[in-house]
């Protein structure tokens, strides 16, 4: 799964990659820094701790992404 979310205050979107087939769990923040994770659960936990729906131009996209990832991972 890959997601691009339009962030407030940034021309670049925040990107989230949850690729279990290739073991890639990463994201790019609004300031273009990146984070890499060993498991998809760590990725979801980091997002929950550091991002809020209000950080994005369309908060519903963030909410939908989180729900899809949680459903996929059975969290």
- Asked whether the whole model's pTM tops 0.75, one would answer yes
pLDDT at 75: 81
Per-domain boundaries in the chain: 2-65
The overall average pLDDT reported for the chain is 94
pLDDT tens, 31-46? 889 999 999 999 999 9
- And the tokens for 8? 């407030």
Nearest to 75 by CA among 35, 57, 51, 48: 48
């Amino acid at each position: 799964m890959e997601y691009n979310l339009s962030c407030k205050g940034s021309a670049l979107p925040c990107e989230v990659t949850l690729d279990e087939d290739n073991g890639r769990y990463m994201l790019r923040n609004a300031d273009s820094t990146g984070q890499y994770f060993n498991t998809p659960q760590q990725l979801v936990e980091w997002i929950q701790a550091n991002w809020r729906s209000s950080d994005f131009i369309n908060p519903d996209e963030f909410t939908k992404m989180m729900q899809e990832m949680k459903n996929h991972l059975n969290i």
